[in-house]
Structure 1
């Protein structure tokens, strides 16, 4: 198996067993990632890697590209087909019929017990191509009733399909809302197609924004969990996203995902060709941090392709093209059931480790100790379990005397190419690590360690396979402790 497809026997041997007598402690009942989320809502999101930051350490998602048509044009989007070399929304290697998509989902579920969510996110708009979308869900639901369904939409057609979404038991919906001011929106959307007519300019923006707000209100009134995506476009909507966050919170949105504009001219988007730049990681974090007190923030988005398969941060879609699928895939439910049991034990253990780390940090670190951002190489499970040279991205955590908190993900080119380090990749990696002076790794070679040190970044490989929070807390207490140097941080 490749990627993060993990044999169940290996997982079961490596994870701790809960204490005798079962899971009666609050840490077992309330996993580390639940926070202030009510129990009823947590039960709906705890296995959804996009709606729960903790879940993305354990569970996989897949998208099926059954909805190629779109009813709006975005200046940051260029839908591409038969494309295996770009990783961004609107891109797919194959367009599927609902029947082909159902076959693919079964094949993935048979090999990846971590699969918990099927999403339809285009490559056009899932609700403009609603017949294909709902037929796909119907076919898959007959075979895999334990799979969660979700759709992503620009919102223009959303009000027409709220009742149908509820009938298909789809209670996770993502709407892309980049502005609530028509003047700003007009700079993002050159046209929309609505009721048999193309609209442009301010008129198009007003129609789209009204439909987005109507759809959001109607979904939340039905108890559907809504995540709002906003593309951060420097100089256009960056200062405006505070107003967007407040507006969607007032209408009941569960999550707000602020993600960077992807603006490579090679992608052929209008913004890319016009030289509109994407934001830096620091700019994205600053905007996200400014939204505190509004809707909950999603900080672990990977801006996935329309045919993505696997854990967030990886894409196994090339392993599941139509020519590689069995004619009649069969899914054994037992590995899926066992995997969820294993994850629950791991979550309970992780929760205890986080609680212990937080308590130890509070004892050891002085309140005046400086806050730090650290980067972590991880393949999932909430652990430091990846070689520096294999990392395609870094998980960033903020740490201070109050604890260790996930801050975001920064993409970077993989340093190791074919088993050898590639020095040409290091500038992009250092750019991704801007503002970070410490990287936690399971292992690192001598040359990249030296390159990092020359850039003022320390690589720490003394906590391999430990939980991230425990390792970071122990490091921080040792470096900035002042009250109880002997405090134990487990």
Structure 2
């Protein structure tokens, strides 16, 4: 392919500059692209499964998108943090959907999205109820999609109660990624989280409900691991109820074969109508969540880039284009065109190769800094691994930790967008600054004098000097300018 192709020409504007290299100049192959857990860290067959999965690979989430189809509304448990009746198009929260789909409607929607969102690599079913409890709809959807788009990855999320009944089918369908929400391994703890479950044609409450759920979750996890299906365990961190207990959860799920553990903060806004929201149960603060994650680093691999997606989410993690693809906007008939997705994957191979070389150069440049503090840096980014978003336009900041030992992704912080139509609200800016608790420095593509002064007054430095650079290269350049000799941005 002789002509230059850019990520911008293939996608919504999620990367800021066009690629400068022709595909004919090469890039990394599928076996050599880097990741925070890359080919050097994982068995080849595992790397092949996760390298393009935005939820199972932090590195992949810069480039690849997921799509959830809301075909499974029935649920067999009640959680104190869940209320599936609430919906706001701007709300990103598990269990929330704007419209439920039949399997036939889901197929039409997936094909339409695949034709328009070339980053799409994963199709998931995450409810809005439970994918395993509403199994007939889940299976019908996956069977049909696999025939139309055979290269898309299939994954599902479940509370685990009905999971053991369907593991053999999951394996036969080549679903090699399953997420189980496991909030406890002690049924006593579970009584504060689950009012009831529905199992074997009856409702169970109290300790009996928690015991049955725990036993079924452990059985399902072990069955999946035995079949070499990758399991991500989601756990909701609920201060005062299971926060300390999650250390034991981490130990147990690791011992039973979980590949990844994702600690998510409780969302407990009273407006959502959940039990926890209405009774005043608070969620963890950002630094509390980080502290717990840091304590678990010797256990199962941690997922730190989760966005707690809606059950009808579409797009890159951190964005949701679902409202662009409601049923009333879809063509009556669609046919799948694989060309755009194939071209995008070629371009990304080269882009990832360049990115990984800059990441390695950034870590190497920091190695000779000597003694310097470990700091948190917040990045305004639209995706693609670059510092490419205006401060006032950010709806979230990606947070990295930097020290002489290197740079690593830590988390993201959701914020209200400060700048609306060229104007900024002081109250919104105060909220953004509050969410940047613990952050020493902010890197963005552009920022005005007013928010820059307010951040400075709050003890947070900010710069747009590294606009459109790779995130790690910009962080390293700033850090070494502060604590050592200045470095070049290029690898």
Task: Report TM bin, short chain.
Answer: over 0.9
Say if 2:399 is the partner of 1:413: no
Q: Compare 120-129 and 86-95 and name the one that shifted more.
A: 86-95
Shift of residue 81, structure 1, vs aligned partner: 6.0
Kept after mapping to 2: 8 A contact 1:81/1:93? no
Deviation per CA, 1:134-192: give whole Å up to 9, x if none.
Answer: 10111111111111110000000000000111111100000000010111011100100
* Closer, same or farther: CA 24–457 of 1 in aligned 2, 3 Å: closer
2:294 corresponds to:
289
Q: Residue deviations 1:185-232, cap 9 Å, x none?
A: 111001000000100111110000000000000001101000000000
Structure-to-structure mapping, 1:94-105, within 5 angstroms: 94-105=99-110
Choose from 432, 435, 440 the match for 1:432.
435
Does 1:15 find its partner at 2:19? yes
The TM-score normalised by the length of structure 1 is: 0.94
- Per the alignment, residue 279 of structure 1 pairs with 284
Task: Answer yes or no: is the 8 Å Cα contact 2:114–2:120 preserved in 1.
Answer: yes
**Cα displacement string for residues 62-121 of structure 1 (whole angstroms, at most 9, x for unaligned residues):** 111111110000000000266424321111100110000111111111111011111100
Note if contact 2:442-2:461 (Cα within 8 Å) is conserved in structure 1. yes
The Cα of 1:37 is off from its aligned counterpart by: 2.1
- In 2, distance between residues paired with 1:229 and 1:213? 14
Return the offset for 1:14: 1.8
Contact kept, 8 Å, 2:8 with 2:16, in 1: the verdict is: no
CA distance in 1, matches of 2:8, 2:137: 32
Which SS does the other structure have where 1:29 is aligned? coil
Q: Runs of 5+ in structure 2 lacking a partner? A: 1-6
**SS state of the match for residue 7, structure 1?**
helix
Aligned residues: 480
Distance 1:225 1:24, change over 3 A: closer
* Counterpart Cα distance in 2 of 1:230 and 1:16: 42
Kept after mapping to 1: 8 A contact 2:88/2:98: yes
Q: CA RMSD in A?
A: 1.9
Query: What secondary structure sits across from 1:375 in the alignment?
Result: strand
After TM superposition, list the pairs within 5 Å mapping 1:193-342 onto structure 2.
Answer: 193-342=198-347
Preserved CA contact (<8 Å) 1:230 1:258: yes
Counterpart check, 1:37 vs 2:39: no
Question: Partners in 2 of 1:81 and 1:130 — Cα distance?
Answer: 23
- 5 Å-filtered alignment, 1:354-373, equals 354-363=359-368, 365-366=369-370, 368-373=371-376
CA distance in 2, matches of 1:17, 1:186: 57
- In structure 2, relative to structure 1, the CA distance for the partners of 1:208 and 1:238 (3 Å cut) is same
Runs ≥4 in structure 1, deviation > 4 angstroms? Answer: 9-13, 18-25, 486-489
Q: Residue in 1 aligned with 2:459? A: 456
Residue deviations 1:238-287, cap 9 Å, x none? 11111101101101101000000000011000011110001000000000
Take 2:146 and 2:86, find their aligned partners in 1: how far apart are those partners?
Answer: 27
| Equivalence for 1:389 | 392
8 Å Cα contact 1:397-1:407 kept in structure 2 = yes
**1:110–1:329: 8 Å Cα contact kept in structure 2?**
no
Give the Cα–Cα distance (whole angstroms) in 2 for the partners of residues 90 and 170 of structure 1. Answer: 21
Inter-partner Cα distance in structure 1 for 2:343 and 2:33? 20
**Is the contact made by 2:388 and 2:467 (CA closer than 8 Å) also made in structure 1?**
yes
TM-score, normalised with respect to structure 2 = 0.94
- On the 8 A contact 2:28/2:352 being kept in 1, the answer is no
8 Å CA contact 1:373, 1:397 repeated in 2: yes
Secondary structure of the equivalent of 2:367? helix
Shift of 1:354: 1.0
Shift of 1:418: 2.9
Structure 1 pair 405/12, CA: closer, same or farther in 2 (3 Å)?
A: closer
1:423 aligned onto 2:433: no
Instruction: Give the drift of 1:30.
Output: 4.2
Post-superposition offset of 1:38: 2.1
Shift in Å, 1:235: 0.5
| CA shift in 2, pair 1:81/1:232, >3 Å | closer
1:115 aligns with 2:120: yes
Rounded Cα–Cα distance in structure 1 between residues aligned with 2:187 and 2:20:
54
List per-residue Cα deviations over 1:380-427 (Å, max 9, x = no partner). Answer: 111101111111001000000011110111111111123322222112
Query: What is the CA distance between 1:23 and its match in structure 2?
Result: 5.0
Match of 1:134 among 132, 139, 145: 139
